[in-house]
C-alpha cells in the first residue's frame, strides 16, 4: 500500500516536516517519487515509523533510535515476544512444513462449528503470521508462501459447504491493500450462513464498480488491513456507491478500526496485536509441536 506524507502523519502522529527531515537526514525511509512529483511511502516505511514512535515514547533519544538502522527497526520485535509454541509454528513455516499445520487445523475443525473455526483457530493463525512477519521472524517470501497456502486451505474448506448461486453480496479487498485473508474469512462466514456471496479478491475501484454493475449485488464488503486515512476510505466508499448503485458498502478489518480510532481520538491498534495464547489456540499449537495429530 502507498501513503502520501500527510497519510503517514495522521497514522503515526509525526508531522510531515519531521518525516521529511528524517527521510533526508537519516535515510531510514525509502519512498518513491511519483510522476506527479509526490513522494509515496510503503508499508515498511509505516512500520519503521511506528517502531520509532514506540522507542521514542519509552524515552529513547532520537539519535539512538535512528542509529539502529532501517532493518533493525523493521524487525524490532524478536523471539522473546512469542511463546515457545508459537516459535515452533514459525519455524515450521520457515521450513515450508504446512502439512502439519493443516493437520492441526483439521483436528480443531473436527470439534467445532465452521464459523467458530474461522473466528478462532484460523484467525489466530493469520494473526500469528502477521506478527511474525512484522517482527522480522518471517521473510517476505515466507510470509507470502504461508499466506498463499492458508488462502488455499480456507477456500477449500469453504467450498466444501457448497457453492451458492446468484450472489447478492460481493466481497473484495480494499483497493491497494495487499492482504486477502481477511476478506476471504469474511466471505467464508457469509457462505456458512447461506448468504449468496461471491469472493472477488484484489481489484481496482473501477473493476469493483464494473462487477457490481454486471450483477444484482445489494452489498459490498471491503477488507482493510493496513491503515488508511478516513478521508481516503470515505472517498473510495462514496465513489463506489455513486457509480455502481449498490445499496451498502461495508468496510472492516484492522486498518479500518485504526482509522476509526484515529478519527475518534482513541489509541490506535497496531498492525498486528501482540501474540496472546488462549486455551484453544494453545491446544492447536501444541498439537503441531508434539505431532499428536
Residue 283 is predicted with a pLDDT of 47
Contact 250, 222 (CB under 8 A): yes
**Confidence grade of residue 184 (pLDDT, cut at 50, 70, 90):** very high
CATH node for 79-290: 3.40.50.280
Mean pLDDT of the chain: 85
Contact 97, 35 (CB under 8 A): no
CATH node for 5-74: 1.10.1660.10
Q: What percent of the chain has pLDDT over 90?
A: 49
Evaluate if residue 267 carries a pLDDT over 90.
Answer: no
Domains 5-74 and 79-290 share a fold: no
- The CA R_g of the chain, rounded to the nearest whole Å, is 20
| Domain ranges across the chain | 5-74, 79-290
Q: Which residue has the cell 488462502?
A: 151
Q: Which of 51-60, 196-205, 232-241 has the lowest mean pLDDT?
A: 51-60
Amino acid at each position: 500500500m502507498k501513503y502520501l506524507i500527510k497519510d503517514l502523519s495522521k497514522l503515526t502522529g509525526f508531522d510531515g516536516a519531521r518525516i521529511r527531515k528524517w527521510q533526508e537526514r537519516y535515510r531510514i525511509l525509502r519512498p518513491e517519487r511519483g510522476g506527479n512529483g509526490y513522494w509515496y511511502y510503503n508499508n515498511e516505511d509505516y512500520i519503521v515509523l511506528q517502531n520509532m514512535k514506540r522507542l521514542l515514547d519509552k524515552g529513547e533519544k532520537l539519535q539512538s533510535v535512528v542509529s539502529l538502522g532501517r532493518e533493525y527497526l523493521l524487525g524490532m520485535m524478536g523471539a522473546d515476544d512469542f511463546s515457545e509454541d508459537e516459535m515452533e509454528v514459525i519455524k515450521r513455516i520457515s521450513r515450508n512444513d504446512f502439512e502439519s499445520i493443516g493437520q492441526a487445523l483439521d483436528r480443531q475443525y473436527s470439534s467445532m462449528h465452521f464459523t467458530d473455526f474461522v473466528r478462532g483457530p484460523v484467525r489466530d493463525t493469520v494473526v500469528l503470521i502477521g506478527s511474525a512477519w512484522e517482527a522480522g521472524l518471517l521473510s517476505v517470501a515466507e510470509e507470502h508462501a504461508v499466506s498463499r497456502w492458508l488462502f488455499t486451505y480456507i477456500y477449500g474448506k469453504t467450498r466444501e459447504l457448497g457453492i451458492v448461486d446468484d450472489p447478492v453480496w460481493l466481497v473484495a479487498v480494499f483497493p491497494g491493500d495487499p492482504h486477502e485473508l481477511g476478506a476471504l474469512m469474511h466471505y467464508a462466514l457469509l457462505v456458512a450462513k447461506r448468504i449468496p456471496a461471491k469472493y472477488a479478491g484484489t481489484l481496482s475501484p473501477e473493476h469493483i464498480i464494473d462487477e457490481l454493475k454486471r450483477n444484482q449485488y445489494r452489498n459490498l464488503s471491503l477488507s482493510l488491513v493496513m491503515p488508511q486515512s478516513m478521508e481516503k476510505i470515505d472517498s473510495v466508499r462514496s465513489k463506489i456507491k455513486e457509480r455502481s448503485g449498490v445499496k451498502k458498502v461495508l468496510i472492516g478489518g484492522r486498518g479500518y478500526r485504526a482509522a476509526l480510532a484515529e478519527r475518534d481520538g482513541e489509541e490506535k491498534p497496531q498492525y498486528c496485536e501482540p501474540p496472546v495464547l488462549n486455551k484453544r489456540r494453545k491446544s492447536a499449537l501444541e498439537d503441531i509441536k508434539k505431532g499428536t495429530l
